[in-house]
């Protein structure tokens, strides 16, 4: 915990006010369906006013009262939902209960529904006291985070009913929504009277700050609440339990791993705030007022971290017996031990977590890899290949030549043919026409060439400025309407101009905008890789997984798939938990698969840092072989989550939203396409020469060599099987 906790002077008033408010809302000593959720002792011992006095130390008395009431409400909801629905498993009643809550959060206009229980009464009162002071943009963000917090309780309930413990990636993603930290971040803006400017609110640095804040808050809560949630409540949504089951470790070892991840997220927060936010201001010409409000918000996030930690040490809600008796560090030498004096513990915290920080920056590039046995890869689907593969191979060679890719610097013809990207497109798009297969192969080539080009041209020279200019120019070659494009100045620009005209021309403006964003996100992620490389910084595990989807081109792939179903499937359906779980699990499977095959190429020969095997090695401090096995276990878990989401989640989605037959058919076909996508990618990795020892060693322009020796030593090499249909692409195979 790198920040000192401070205590508001208005604590006493907030305690008195919040208790009276809770009584008024019937939250204390009033049975709900025959069950008393809280009695007076429960309320007093939880001490939510202390939480808010620590997490919002600079709030005025009136603001602290309001913030405390919000937290009383959200914790009451959590316990109310537990008693009425989690303990009973009554998912249908839970869904109806949650649907009504949305009636008490109108973004515009007045509340017209009549409250029927303490949760609804409390929300109605709080909404009317809060929203008159906030912008419409803030209200929309707060409604979204509140609904996520409430609605995703169904995910927890479904897991309890199935006895299912989620995998680590799924857990972190879903915990952000159900855990409430994004909701808390919105209240921080309110309490410090500052709003992040709309121009940067959705940018990567601000999203990373919010996500790091959320993950650290939730992981800390998991550590303190493990005993109550897992042993008393039968809860399955706890990070310690997730690590316990996934890594096969003891509870204490799992808790230590969760704490390491918490530390990593706080360091990612610091890194982003110090290195990315100032540049973001300049890029978007944010005025002095906007900068000041953003920094006030960032400071508010820090205050919440330290204050939340201090409250967890004190509240009877959590496992903290003896936590205040021996904290270590300067306090044992006679330092301060009273309220709000946690600064005395910062030194010992920094010393204890220093080894993890040092590992992230001390990796020696080009280390010798192996020998490594490749794990047995789980693939439940069957492969089909397009009959137009041979023709596509020759057509791609002609296209790459005409675009200027085969200049002998980054690629030559041998390298391009050894990669055999049409083999990938033939697997991920087996039913494509010859023209569609050529287009898919060309997109694969453009993305992969770009991913190879950036390290060679910009990485070696550490010329991040030139890379940023080149990346920004890509937008000029992807006009949304009829804007003229400039003459291309590089092979990447030439290829993009050609592909954009062939792909985006027939699209509607809406789809063209989404498609363009996917391409831009992928290219921007290459800059993120260059920045980490310049700092010799191994990425934080969570940031790596989420950025890897972009460096691999996964978002772009999904955009093109969605377009093929866009006239049938309503856009809001793609934002549901089920569809996002299907997409993200497929993305992660493919990204991790690529990392397994490319590990030696990247780590030994290219001096790369962006590989999940290295990230796991660094984070868990394990050997290479163990890291490979953990990554393979994570791949398998993501594939099984994909299967579960398709087999269980899709039918539930059809029912919940009363989707008609056309939409059901389209979404089922989309899931089948993603099956094709994954098995086609696996087949390409096993069938191309990009990752063989001879091809890795060979440089463009070198004499021809037949690449046959695999980069792995021994181990299973059985080909996965699966049937697919996808009208999409896979750029940036590393």
Tell which wins on pLDDT, 236 or 559: 236
* Alpha carbon distance 393, 391 (integer Å): 5
pLDDT for 339 equals 42
**Which of 148-152, 408-412, 694-698 comes out lowest in average pLDDT?**
148-152
Predicted confidence at residue 359, as pLDDT, reads: 64
Q: What are 353-407's pLDDT values in tens digits?
A: 666 656 666 778 888 887 888 889 999 999 999 999 999 999 999 999 999 999 8
Q: In this predicted structure, what is the pLDDT of residue 364?
A: 83
The mean-pLDDT minimum among 533-542, 645-654, 691-700 falls in 691-700
pLDDT of 482 over the 90 cut: no
pLDDT for residue 16: 97
Average pLDDT over residues 554-574: 74
pTM: 0.84
- Please tell me the least confidently modeled range out of 16-25, 223-232, 292-301, 707-716: 707-716
Q: b or e along 380-410 (b: 16 or more beta carbons within 10 Å of the residue's beta carbon)?
A: ebebbbbebbeebbebbbebbeebbbbeeeb
Q: Does 180 score more than 70 pLDDT?
A: yes
Cα separation, 148 vs 70, in Å, equals 16
Question: Given a cut of 50, is residue 343 above it in pLDDT?
Answer: no
Mean pLDDT across the chain: 85
**What integer pLDDT is reported at residue 396 of this predicted model?**
97
Give the pLDDT mean for 2-19: 93
DSSP calls for 152-191:
THHHHHHHHHHT-PPPHHHHHHHHHHHH-HHHHHHHHHHH
Alpha carbon distance 711, 123 (integer Å): 59
Residue range 551-558: average pLDDT? 80
pLDDT in tens, 445-462: 999 999 999 999 998 788
* pLDDT given at position 394: 97
Read off the pLDDT of residues 234-262 as tens digits, 9 standing for 90 and up. 778 899 999 999 999 999 999 999 999 99
* 3-state secondary structure (DSSP) of residue 287: coil
- In the predicted structure, residue 336 carries a pLDDT above the cut 80: no
Instruction: Give the pLDDT confidence score for residue 548 in this predicted structure.
Output: 92
At residue 657, does pLDDT exceed 60?
yes
pLDDT of residue 259: 93
Burial of 486 (0-12, 13-18, 19+ CB in 10 A): exposed
- More confidently predicted of 142 and 258: 258
Mean pLDDT throughout 662-676? 94
Of the segments 556-560, 561-565, 600-604, which one has the largest average pLDDT value?
A: 600-604
What is the spatial distance between Cα 599 and Cα 583, in angstroms, rounded to a whole number?
24
For 273-329, write each residue's pLDDT tens digit.
998 999 899 989 999 999 999 999 999 999 999 999 998 888 877 777 776 665 443
- Mind giving me the DSSP string for 341-364? -GGGGHHHHHHHTHHHHHHHH---
- Euclidean distance between CA atoms 2 and 349, whole angstroms: 7
**Residue from 333, 357, 327 nearest 345 by CA:** 327
Which DSSP letter does residue 718 get? P
How many Å apart are CA 485 and CA 117, to the nearest integer?
59
Residue 167 has pLDDT above 60, yes or no: yes
CB neighbour list of residue 672: distance below 8 Å, 6 or more residues apart: 723, 724, 725
* Interval 100-137: pLDDT, tens: 888 998 888 899 999 999 999 999 999 999 988 788 88
> pLDDT per residue over 488-542, tens digit each?
999 999 999 999 999 987 888 888 888 899 899 999 999 999 999 988 889 999 9
- Minimal CA–CA distance to 4: which of 419, 343, 459, 350? 343
Q: Are 490 and 454 in contact, with CB atoms under 8 Å apart?
A: no
Could you give the angle at the alpha carbon of 731 between the alpha carbons of 730 and 734, nearest 5°?
Answer: 105
Kindly list the distances between the CA atom of residue 470 and the CA atoms of 282, 477, 489, 603, in Å, as whole numbers in the listed order. 18, 12, 10, 26
Looking at 505-576, list the stretches that DSSP marks H as alpha helix, in order from N- to C-terminal side.
509-535, 541-551, 554-565, 571-574
3-state secondary structure 33-97: CCEECCCHHHHHHHCHHHHHHHHCCCCCHHHHHHHHHHHHHHHHHHHHHHHHHHCCCCHHHHHHH
Region 590-598 average pLDDT? 95
Upper half-sphere CA count for residue 234 (Cβ side, 13 Å): 15
Could you say which DSSP state residue 719 is in? P
Give the per-residue pLDDT at 467: 94
- Look at 339 and 466; give whichever has higher pLDDT: 466
pLDDT of residue 379: 97
Bigger pLDDT: 734 vs 72: 72
pLDDT at position 355 is 65
As a whole number, mean pLDDT of residues 682-710 equals: 75
Has residue 349 got a pLDDT over 50? Answer: yes
55-71 mean pLDDT = 94
Identify the band that residue 697 occupies on the pLDDT scale cut at 50, 70 and 90. confident
Highest mean pLDDT of the ranges 336-340, 349-353, 403-407: 403-407
Q: Which of 55-59, 72-76, 195-199, 425-429 has the lowest mean pLDDT?
A: 195-199
């Amino acid at each position: 915990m790198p920040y000192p906790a401070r205590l508001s002077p208005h604590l006493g008033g907030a305690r008195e006010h919040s208790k009276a408010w809770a009584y008024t809302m019937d939250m204390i000593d009033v049975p709900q369906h025959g069950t008393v959720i809280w009695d007076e002792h429960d309320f007093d011992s939880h001490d939510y006013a202390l939480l808010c006095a620590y997490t919002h130390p600079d709030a005025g008395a009136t603001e602290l009262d309001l913030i405390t009431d919000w937290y009383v409400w959200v914790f009451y909801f959590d316990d109310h939902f537990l008693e009425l629905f989690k303990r009973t498993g009554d998912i249908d009643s839970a869904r109806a209960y949650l649907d009504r809550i949305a009636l008490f959060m109108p973004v515009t206009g007045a509340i017209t529904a009549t409250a029927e229980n303490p949760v609804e009464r409390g929300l109605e009162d709080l909404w009317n006291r809060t929203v008159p002071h906030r912008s419409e943009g803030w209200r929309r963000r707060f409604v979204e985070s509140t609904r996520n917090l409430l609605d995703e309780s169904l995910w927890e309930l479904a897991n309890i009913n199935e006895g299912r413990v989620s995998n680590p990636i799924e857990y972190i993603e879903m915990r952000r929504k159900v855990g409430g930290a994004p909701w808390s971040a919105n209240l921080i803006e309110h309490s410090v009277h500052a709003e992040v400017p709309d121009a940067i609110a959705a940018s990567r640095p601000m999203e990373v700050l919010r996500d790091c804040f959320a993950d650290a808050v939730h992981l800390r809560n998991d550590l303190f609440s493990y005993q109550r949630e897992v042993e008393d409540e039968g809860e399955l949504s706890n990070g310690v339990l997730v690590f316990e089951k996934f890594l096969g470790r003891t509870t204490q070892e799992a808790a230590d791993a969760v704490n390491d991840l918490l530390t990593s997220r706080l360091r990612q927060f610091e890194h982003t705030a110090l290195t990315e936010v100032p540049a973001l201001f300049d890029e978007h010409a944010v005025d002095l007022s906007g900068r000041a409000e953003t920094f006030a918000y960032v400071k508010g996030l820090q205050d919440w971290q330290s204050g939340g930690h201090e409250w967890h040490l004190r509240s009877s809600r959590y496992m903290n017996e003896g936590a205040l008796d021996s904290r270590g560090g300067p306090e044992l030498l006679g330092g301060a031990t009273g309220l709000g004096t946690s600064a005395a513990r910062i030194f010992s915290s920094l010393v204890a977590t220093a080894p993890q920080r040092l590992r992230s920056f001390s990796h020696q590039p080009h280390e010798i890899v192996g020998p490594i046995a490749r794990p047995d890869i789980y693939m439940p689907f069957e492969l089909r290949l397009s009959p137009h593969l041979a023709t596509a191979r020759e057509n791609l060679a002609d296209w790459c030549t005409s675009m200027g890719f085969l200049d002998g610097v980054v690629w030559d013809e041998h390298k391009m043919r050894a990669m055999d990207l049409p083999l990938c497109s033939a697997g991920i798009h087996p039913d494509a026409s010859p023209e569609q297969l050529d287009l898919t192969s060309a997109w694969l080539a453009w993305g992969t060439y770009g991913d190879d080009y950036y390290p060679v041209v910009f990485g070696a020279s550490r010329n991040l400025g030139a890379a940023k200019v080149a990346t920004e120019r890509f937008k000029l070659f992807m006009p949304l309407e009829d804007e003229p494009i400039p003459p291309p100045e590089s092979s990447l620009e030439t290829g993009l101009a050609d592909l954009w005209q062939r792909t985006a021309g027939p699209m509607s403006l809406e789809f063209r905008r989404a498609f363009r964003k996917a391409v831009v996100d992928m290219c921007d992620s290459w800059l993120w890789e260059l920045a980490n490389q310049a700092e010799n910084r191994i990425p934080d595990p969570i940031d790596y997984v989420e950025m890897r989807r972009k460096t691999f081109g996964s978002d772009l792939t999904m955009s093109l798939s969605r377009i093929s179903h866009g006239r049938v499937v309503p856009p809001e359906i793609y934002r549901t938990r089920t569809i996002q779980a299907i997409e993200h699990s497929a993305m992660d499977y493919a990204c991790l698969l690529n990392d397994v095959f490319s590990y030696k190429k990247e780590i030994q020969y290219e001096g790369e840092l962006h590989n999940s095997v290295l990230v796991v090695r660094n984070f868990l401090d394990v050997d290479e072989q163990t890291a490979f096995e953990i990554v393979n276990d994570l791949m398998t878990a993501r594939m099984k989550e994909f299967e579960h989401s398709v087999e269980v989640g899709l039918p539930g989605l059809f029912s919940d939203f009363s989707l008609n037959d056309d939409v059901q058919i389209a979404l089922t076909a989309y899931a089948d396409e993603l099956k094709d996508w994954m098995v086609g990618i696996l087949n390409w990795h096993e069938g191309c020469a990009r990752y063989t020892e001879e091809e890795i060693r060979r440089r463009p322009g070198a004499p021809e060599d037949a690449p046959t020796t695999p980069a792995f030593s021994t181990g299973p090499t059985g080909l996965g099987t699966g049937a697919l249909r996808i009208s999409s692409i896979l750029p940036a195979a590393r």
